[in-house]
Amino acid sequence: MKHNFGAGPCILPKEVFQEASEAVIDFNNTGLSILEISHRSKEFEQVVIEAEALVRELLQVPDDYSVLFLQGGATQQFAMVPMNILPEGGKAAYLDTGVWATKAAKEASKLGTVEVVASSSDKNYNYIPKDFSVPADATYFHYTSNNTIYGTEVFEKPQVDIPTVVDMSSDILSRVINVADHDIIYAGAQKNMGAAGVTLVIVKNSILGTSGRNLPSIFDYQSHAKAGSMFNTPPVFSIYVSMLNLRWLKAKGGVSVIEQENIIKARTLYEEIDRNPLFKGTANEEDRSRMNVTFVMDTPEQEAAFLELAKKRGLVGIKGHRSVGGFRASIYNALSITSINALVDAMKEFEELSK
């Protein structure tokens, strides 16, 4: 048995894989593959309608927000956000908590002034800055809720009094949030929602068109909102897989239920990291991510030996990001407690072998 701790594209429920694979051959008894069906067909329109309805239900999205399924990943949103809401010559405030937050700020700086209000780069992003203020003349505040490389997570929205944008690519649908706390939420699907290729954007309607820019239509949220995410050919298969996964999450009991499972999974793994003298967590305890657990050992030789044991035990994808080394166990929604226990058992076994 393989236990997939990969950071993304990541594990999805076996039921979703099964249904998606069947649809590749014959989608809903149409005699056509989901890969070839027209995106304008009634059958696929129903997929988009159901996917949007499930997002609204699972996240309790207010009626005055649009739910969009776009392409280009979160990276495209780094640019689309300021294009749509930052006026020419305007200022935006960004919280720097890692690589992706830095990239988001860099893209925004091409469209206006960016003020980085706080950064944890001084300690290799192993904590979330807490004490900072946002300039009153900033148009919006942007932060990244979960930092996959460094294993930190923001569990409560920072208290700011201006429109707020959050990149939730790696923890969307993993915990209960108040959508109304944010003006834009965006997330690549390939962590907790579905297959790579589609990006979820939840945007407050009143903020649409406020930049005053004459945008190419494809980069204008209003174009996609008016067309119901069908402005151009959408990523059909990725949206379909997301819909299946959203169905699975609803059947489990929704976001509040999966959050409790995620808490247990993360706690189980962190407890072993803290107990086992051979391993050490890298993130500040109060900021530890539930989605990406990062840890190291004392020497590269130890790490190589443990990776070899992990491979023999079917543990896949635990090697840390190339920029930080060590280990990273990504424990997204579909990863079971069985896989967590398998990793914990391997850590205990390695401890015994090292005595």
- The 10s digit of each residue's pLDDT in 296-345 is 999 999 999 999 999 999 999 999 988 788 999 999 999 999 999 999 99
The predicted structure's pLDDT at residue 355: 81
Phi-psi region of 343 (alpha: psi -120 to 50; beta: other; left: phi over 0): alpha
Task: Please name the residues in contact with 214: beta carbons below 8 A apart, sequence gap of 6 or more.
Answer: none
3-state SS assignment for residue 79? helix
Verify whether residue 100 is a known catalytic residue: yes
Identified catalytic residue from 167, 171, 183, 287: 167
Verify whether residue 226 is a known catalytic residue: no
The predicted structure's pLDDT at residue 277: 98
User: Tell me, which fold does domain 14-252 have in CATH?
Assistant: Aspartate Aminotransferase; domain 2 (3.40.640)
The predicted structure's pLDDT at residue 325: 86
The predicted structure's pLDDT at residue 250: 98
In sequence order, what are the beta bridge partners of 199?
70, 188
pLDDT digit string, tens, across residues 242-275: 999 999 999 999 999 999 999 999 999 999 999 9
pLDDT digit string, tens, across residues 133-181: 999 999 999 999 999 999 999 999 999 999 999 999 999 999 999 999 9
The predicted structure's pLDDT at residue 327: 97
Segment 36-50 mean pLDDT: 96
Q: DSSP string covering 182-249, please? A: -SEEEEESTTTTSSTT-EEEEEEGGGTTTT-----GGG-HHHHHHTTT-SS---HHHHHHHHHHHHHH
pTM over 0.95: yes
How is the chain split into domains, by residue range? 14-252, 254-353
pLDDT higher than 90, residue 203: yes
pLDDT digit string, tens, across residues 97-112: 999 999 999 999 999 9
Is 148 within any annotated ligand binding site?
Answer: yes
The predicted structure's pLDDT at residue 10: 86
3-state SS assignment for residue 253? coil
Distance CA 145, CA 168 (A): 6
Note the helical H segments in 60-169: 73-85, 99-108
Is 100 within any annotated ligand binding site?
Answer: yes
The predicted structure's pLDDT at residue 323: 79
Is 205 within any annotated ligand binding site?
Answer: no
Is 338 within any annotated ligand binding site?
Answer: no
* Confidence label for 281 from pLDDT (cuts 50, 70 and 90): very high
The predicted structure's pLDDT at residue 1: 85
For all residues of the chain together, what is the average pLDDT? Answer: 97
The predicted structure's pLDDT at residue 43: 94
* CATH class of the domain whose range is 254-353: alpha beta
Give the rounded percent of residues in the chain with a pLDDT score beyond 70.
100
Identified catalytic residue from 96, 171, 183, 191: 191
Question: Positive or negative CA dihedral for 120, 306, 297, 337?
Answer: positive
Is 233 within any annotated ligand binding site?
Answer: yes
Distance CA 347, CA 31 (A): 49
Verify whether residue 191 is a known catalytic residue: yes
